[in-house]
Amino acid sequence: MSNQRNPVPTVDVITEVSGGIVLVKRRYPPPGWALPGGFVEYGETVEAAAIREACEETGLHVSLVELFGVYSSPDRDPRHHTIGIVFIGTATGVPVGGDDAAEARIFPSESLPAPLAFDHARILQDYVTYKRTGRRPV
């Protein structure tokens, strides 16, 4: 058995709804608002994980529209090294916090709450730039 350590795969969904994007207030540390998301389970595709996590945390049934980007800075999660696969999705309805989310709300992209957990401020800044200019993060 190898004692090799590898980054942990995670998914996040920038969920576009009427009025803005959906963020969740984290129930557990690290504190703050975050994109709906979480860990990919063994045997699960990243797409299935993104849809499952978004539904568990917001109650919304999300349709994935596109892969937005991959975020892999070793310090993006203070608990351990993760690789975040970020999707853009759409949903209708009113989000309700569930599972790891104490609360779920819609925010206009120009008026985001603080603090944002993990590297989600950077992800959302990249998203706003992408929506305005069509340029994807590198």
Distance CA 137, CA 126 (A): 6
Residue 102 token pair: 């104490």
DSSP, collapsed to helix, strand or coil, labels residue 47 as helix
Catalytic residue among 44, 57, 103, 110: 103
1 Cβ partners below 8 Å, 6+ apart? none
Query: Is 103 noted as a catalytic residue in this protein?
Result: yes
Active site positions, annotated: 103
